[in-house]
Structure 1
Amino acid sequence: MSSVRNLRGRDALTLETIEIEVLDTRVASIRPYSGNVDDLWLAPGLVDLQVNGYGGIDLNAAACDAQAIERLTLLLASRGTTAYLPTVITAAHPEMESRLRTIAEARRNSTVVAHAVPGVHLEGPSISPIDGYRGAHAAEHVRPPSLTEFESLQVAADGLIKLVTLSPHWPDVATYIRALRDRGVTVALGHTHASPEQICAAVDAGAQLSTHLGNGIAAELPRHPNPIWTQLAEDRLTATFIADGVHLPADVLRVMLRAKGIERSVLVSDSVALAGSKPGLYHSPIGGDVIVGADGSVRMRDTGLLAGSGIALKDAVALAAGLPGSSLRDAVRMATEIPGGFLNAPCGRLAVGSSADLLLFRWSAADDTLALIEVLVEGRSMLALQNN
C-alpha cells in the first residue's frame, strides 16, 4: 500500500508558500499553497562535503565499523544532513585503506548508508608538512602525491573516493591533478602553503575547490601574497567554509562570502566525533589530546590549533543566514544545491520526482540553529526513528 504525506511551508529557495506531496519515497508534486503555514520553512536535505564524525562516532578511529557508520548516518539525518562525504584524513597507508574499506562495507550492507553517502572525501595525505598549514594532520604521515597510492586507496574504497584535498606545492602536482580529474575525482586545495603560481597552475590542471578556506593555514601570514588571497581571487575555485563562529569570525566569513559570491561558496561542518561533547580534555584520532571548549570548539591541547568542528551543518546554515547582508535562501543554497553539484548525485535539490529528502523547520535571524520539525529521507521520518 502506498504512503502519502503532505508538507506545507515556505520554500527556503523560492520564498513561495508551497505544499509538497510525498508518495512513498519520492516527491510526487509541488504546488502553491494559500493556507497559513505560520513560520514553517521547507528545504531539501542538507549536503555536507566534510564529515569526520559526530556524536561519539569517529570515522578515523580504528574501532569504527560498518554498524557505527550506519548509526552515524542516521544521527546526521536526524540533524538534517541527508547526504554527506565521510572524510578520511592523513594517516599511514594501511590505516587509510582500512578506513576506506569500512566505509565501502557500510555502503554495501546498508541501504541507509548507500543512499546518504555518494562518495568519500580524502583529506590528505599530500598536504603541507609545515606546522600550522598542516593543522591537526599527523606530520609523520604527510607524503607526496602518488597515483599508485591513490589507485590502491580507490580499490579499497570500492571506487568511492570522489573528492581529494591536497596542497599544490608538491613537484609535478599538475600531472597528478589531471590524472584524478580524468578518473572523475574532484580536486580541492587545502592545508597549503603554496605560492600564487602553484595555486594557479593547480587550477589550470583542473582543481575546482578550496577546502575550508581560511583554515588549515598558519596563524601568521605575509600581508600579501598568501594562499588565502590567491584562492579568493581565483574565480574557477569554489570555496568551502566552516561557519561555526570559531573557525572564521563573522566579519571574516562575511568578507569571504562577498569575495567568492554565493554561487562559488559551500558550507561544510568539518564535524568530528566530539561534536556536542561537554567541555573537557579528550583523546581523539584527529589531533591527539584535544580540549572541547565552552564554545564547542575542539582544539589540540599543545598547540591550540582547531581539530575539526563541534557543529552539525544545520548550525552553519543558521549562522550564515543570520549574518548581516545574508539570507536564509543563500545559506540553504550553500548547503544543498551548490555542494550537491559537485557530487554527481541526486541530492540537494527539490523537484518533482526527486527523492523525498526534505526538511521542515523554524528559524529566525536570532537563532543559532534550525529548529527541525521534520526530516524525511526517502519519505521516512528520521526524527521519529531517533526518538524510538
Structure 2
Amino acid sequence: MTAEAPRDLVKRVDALHYATGHPVSIGIDGGIIRSVEPIAAPEGTRPRAPTFVGPGLVDLQVNGYLGRDFNRPPISPETIGDSVRLLWQQGVTSFYPTIITNSPDAIAQAAGDIARACEADRVTADGIAGIHLEGPFISPEDGARGAHALQYVRAPDWDLISRWQDASDGRVKIVTMSPEWPESSGFIERCVAGGITVSIGHTSATPEQIAAAVAAGARLSTHLGNGAHLMLPRHPNYLWEQLAQDELWTCVIADGFHLPDQVLKVILKVKGDKAIVVSDAVSLAGMPAGTYTQPVGGDVVLTPEGRLHLASNPRLLAGSAQMLPHHISHLIGRGLATSADAWDMASVRPASLMGRPQSAGIAVGAPADLVLFTADNGGVRIVETIKAGRRAGGPSEASINTSKITG
C-alpha cells in the first residue's frame, strides 16, 4: 500500500472559481472541503494567466492510456496503479476502466485483475470508481458493432454478469449493451436492481426496443453517434430515439474527430444538463505520433494532430487518443459550450449520473477532488490535481504555481 508524505496534504486552495471566475479560498481537512469563501484579489497582483480551480474530472470510459491497456489480460497491479496516477496528471480524479467485448474468461480475468489492484493499493482504489463493461451484449451487425470482435458478441446473460461481478468484487458499475436482443428488458431490470447503470450503445435496436429499454431502467447512451451504421433511415432511427428519450443521459466523444461540431451542437442543445463528455481513450492516448499495431484494429496511425485511424483506411477511426482536457478545450474553443458547462460535462455531471459524492462539485462537504488549470485562447492546461485533499501531481511539476496552494 502506498503511503503519502505529510507534505502532500493540502489545507487551502486559493484560485478563481471555474464557474464564476471570482477568487475563492477553499479550506480542506480530512480530504473534505470544509469551507468555500470569496477573497479579494489585491490590486496589481492578478497574473496574466490566472489559475482556475474546478472539481476533479470523472471519465466514464477509459480503455487505456500511455501504453497501458485494460483489454490485454493479465493486467498487472503496476499497470493499473500507474494508470490511476497518470490520469490524475490529466485532471481525472476518478474513472471507470473499460473492458470491451471479449471471451467470458478474458473479461473475468481483466475484472479480477482490476479488483486485485484496488485491494492491494488504497491510492489505486481511490481513483477507480468502478468498471465499465462495453459489451459483449451489443449488436452483431457491421457498423453498429464497431471494432468489437464478432466472435465474442452474445445475447445478454445474467449468469455471465454475475460471474464478472464476483470476479470484480462488485466493481462492475456500467454495462453498455444493445436492447435489440430478446429478453433485454428483463436483463436491464436485473442490472438496475443490482446497482449497475445500463447504457445503450453499439446498437441496431428499433425505436420501440429503445423505449422499452428506458422503461426497464436504461439511463445512458454510450458515445452517441459513434459505433453506428454509416447509413440510417432518415427517420425513425436509433439516434433520434435516444435523443428524444428524456430519461437518457448522453455521452459524447468531443475530440474534434469522432463527431462533427454540428452534431455535437445538436446533442448538447437537446440533452442540456444530461450531456456528458467521455474520452473513450485507448492505450495509445498520450503516445507520440507514429504507426502502431493494436490487438483491436491491427496497424493504426496516430497523427501529430492526435487523430487515430486505421493504416489501411485513413477515413476510419481506430479509437480516441485524447484525454478529457482536450475534449473540454474543443468544446470551449469551438463555441459549443461555455467553459463552466464544458467542465461540468466532464466532472459533476458524470458524478451525478453515477451517484458519486463528487457530484457536489466545489461545495462544503464534498470530497476535495480539485483541479487547478489555466484557460488560454479556449485551451485548458492542467496545472495540478488534488485528490482527496492530497497533491496528486500535474503534467509538469515545474509549471505548478505553489503560491496558489498552501500545505
Shorter chain as denominator, the TM-score bin is over 0.9
Which of residues 200, 206, 223 in structure 2 aligns to 1:212?
Answer: 223
Could you say which residue in structure 1 is the equivalent of 2:53? 42
Name the % identity.
40
Could you say which residue in structure 2 is the equivalent of 1:135? 146
SS in 2 for 1:360: strand
In the alignment, is residue 238 of structure 1 matched against residue 249 of structure 2? yes
SS in 2 for 1:243: coil
Relative to the length of structure 2, the TM-score reads 0.90
Which of residues 81, 103, 106 in structure 2 aligns to 1:95?
Answer: 106
Which of residues 257, 264, 267 in structure 2 aligns to 1:253?
Answer: 264
SS in 2 for 1:305: strand
Which of residues 283, 301, 304 in structure 2 aligns to 1:294?
Answer: 304
1:24 shift after superposition: 5.1
Q: For structure 2, which runs of at least 5 residues remain unmatched after alignment?
A: 1-5, 399-407
1:386 shift after superposition: 7.4
In the alignment, is residue 13 of structure 1 matched against residue 51 of structure 2? no
Q: For structure 1, which runs of at least 5 residues remain unmatched after alignment?
A: none
Could you say which residue in structure 2 is the equivalent of 1:71? 82
Question: AA paired with 1:178?
Answer: E
1:384 shift after superposition: 6.2
- 1:253-287 residue CA offsets vs partner (Å, 9 max, x unmatched): 112111211x1100100001101223332222333
1:94 shift after superposition: 0.3
Q: Work out the CA distance in 1 between the residues paired with 2:293 and 2:10.
A: 46
Q: Work out the CA distance in 2 between the residues paired with 1:68 and 1:113.
A: 10
Question: AA paired with 1:214?
Answer: G
Q: Residues 297-336 of structure 1: matches in 2 within 5 Å?
A: 297-302=307-312, 304-324=315-335, 326-336=337-347
- 1:123-171 residue CA offsets vs partner (Å, 9 max, x unmatched): 0001011111111111111000001111111111111011000011001
1:385 shift after superposition: 9.5
Q: Work out the CA distance in 1 between the residues paired with 2:154 and 2:311.
A: 25
In structure 2, the CA distance between the partners of 1:373 and 1:228, relative to structure 1 (3 Å rule), is: same
1:315 shift after superposition: 1.2
In the alignment, is residue 356 of structure 1 matched against residue 382 of structure 2? no
Which of residues 253, 277, 282 in structure 2 aligns to 1:272?
Answer: 282
Relative to the length of structure 1, the TM-score reads 0.94
Q: What is the number of residues matched between the two proteins?
A: 385
Contact 1:321/1:365, CA 8 A, preserved across alignment: no
1:118 shift after superposition: 1.7
Contact 2:75/2:114, CA 8 A, preserved across alignment: no
Q: Runs of at least 4 residues of structure 1 off by over 4 A?
A: 1-4, 384-388
Q: Work out the CA distance in 2 between the residues paired with 1:130 and 1:302.
A: 21
Q: Work out the CA distance in 2 between the residues paired with 1:64 and 1:386.
A: 27
SS in 1 for 2:353: coil
Question: AA paired with 1:149?
Answer: L
SS in 2 for 1:101: helix
Q: Work out the CA distance in 1 between the residues paired with 2:370 and 2:110.
A: 30
Q: Work out the CA distance in 1 between the residues paired with 2:16 and 2:258.
A: 31
1:6 shift after superposition: 2.6
In structure 2, the CA distance between the partners of 1:302 and 1:94, relative to structure 1 (3 Å rule), is: farther
Contact 1:4/1:24, CA 8 A, preserved across alignment: no
In structure 2, the CA distance between the partners of 1:384 and 1:321, relative to structure 1 (3 Å rule), is: closer
Contact 2:200/2:221, CA 8 A, preserved across alignment: yes
